[in-house]
Structure 1
């Protein structure tokens, strides 16, 4: 068992560029140099109360203790939304091959709640490679306005603008929220390297957003001490 854990630590430290960093500032600098689609953020994440496909209410506060990777789509989008979901699925596959799996929630929010019914939400992720084990697809609550999730997207800095033909004009951004509900990063578009998003996730699961004078915590820090 120990040999297997050490192997995981070696794998993680070899394929995640920031695994040896001692603060989030160091990780941010590494990513700024290596990933042109990366944007460091440092502010509270916009609050939300939404509903999962099974009817469960999901609040940002309920996710404390988990790193959240959040993105917005609408399921009838004919082009970039499916590609965005598949990009996130690629990241999720990398994360879920490590013990970080239990510390991460991948979250998709629909900006078209009128058409994206619960059965549509449930089917969308698996159709694009997302693992339901740590993935949620959220929509509005019944008492919320239809544009509530589009306004949430605006609070995260981008718009989903309705067009006359029923589609939505929008950008592509993957947002990263730390375990305390603090918005830490954006990855713009579809051309970022998945390993760089994994680098940010790894940093946040190891508490690197805290001052570097604090002891490192988390599975990677513990295993690194065994090497």
Structure 2
């Protein structure tokens, strides 16, 4: 018998065996179960995020749309508000960025336009190029001078997100990630983590007030006093959702000063009268 005849007889049997194996793996009459989607562990992500508090970031390098290199060390000396997005996210990342822009403008009204820097980075590095980040900024209506939208390479973003305690993972819809905005102090350390789609004005301004108006050892006595007064005289009004200057402290200090002056004058007059002067 020729070899071709042998194969003709064996092939139906081989096919039957393969079909039997497949039938054992997937029972007849039952649909093939869909592949389970990865589950984002929000509790673990929050824990990692909190563990980053006090951590100093490395001197990472990023690129602007014009090719200019921006190093984190160049931003030190002022607090930095840092957010992470991916530009192909057309809903949540856009909404959080626009909300952050409103909060940043309110913070500038209170603290001054040059009091802090904002940095938004794209963590989907193949897509979030410097040009894509610049286009994203335009789409969200962000025009602040000290707000940088930058891109970086995958190794840099992986190291940065570890330092920040920022967790993200791929999902069928794009990425699942922690809605996290980080406040860095002037030395590049993680000072505060803020969570949520909308960053309320008070959530951002309060830590920035502490950093901008905080007392530093190198400040003179007068500067320390002025910073303390400015820090406590700026209060949040929940009715309007904005900050305002509370002059009650100034008024209280003025009244207290007048009372002390009056008492001092009275005592001086009494002492002089008693001495017959």
Q: TM-score, normalised by structure 2?
A: 0.57
What is aligned with 1:78? 90
1:102 maps onto 2:111 in alignment: no
Contact 2:79 2:185 survives alignment (8 Å): yes
Task: Find out whether 1:196 has 2:203 as its counterpart.
Answer: yes
Contact map agreement 1:84 1:190 (CA 8 A) in 2: yes
Alignment of 1:23-172 (within 5 A): 41-140=53-152, 144=153, 146-163=154-171, 165=172, 167-172=174-179
Count of equivalent residues:
183
Answer 1 or 2: which has greater strand percent. Answer: 1
SS at match of 1:184: strand
1:219 to 1:58, Cα distance in 2 relative to 1, 3 A: farther
1:186 equivalent in structure 2: 193
Unaligned runs of 5+ in 1: 1-38
Match of 2:15? Answer: none
CA-CA distance at 1:66 after TM superposition: 1.4
Structure 1: how far apart are the matches of 2:95 and 2:220? 39
Could you say which structure has the higher helix fraction?
2
**Cα RMSD over matched residues?**
3.1
Higher deviation after alignment, 182-191 or 95-104: 95-104
Structure number, greater radius of gyration = 2
Instruction: Point out where structure 2 has 5 or more consecutive residues left out of the alignment.
Output: 1-49, 234-246, 251-277
Which SS does the other structure have where 1:44 is aligned?
coil
Q: CA deviation at 1:133?
A: 1.0
Q: Give the whole-Å Cα distance in 1 for the aligned partners of 2:197 and 2:205.
A: 15
Report if aligned partners of 1:109, 1:137 keep a CA contact under 8 Å in 2.
yes
Higher normalized contact order (CA 8 Å, seq sep 6+, divided by chain length): 1
Q: Judging changes above 3 Å, is the alpha-carbon distance between structure 1 residues 131 and 97 closer, same or farther for their aligned structure 2 residues?
A: farther
Change (3 A) 1:61 1:118: closer
Q: Distance in 2 between matches of 1:195 and 1:86?
A: 17
Pair 1:132–1:150, CA change in 2 (3 A): farther
- Structure 2 CA distance for partners of 1:220 and 1:188, relative to 1, 3 Å: same
TM-score (norm 1): 0.68
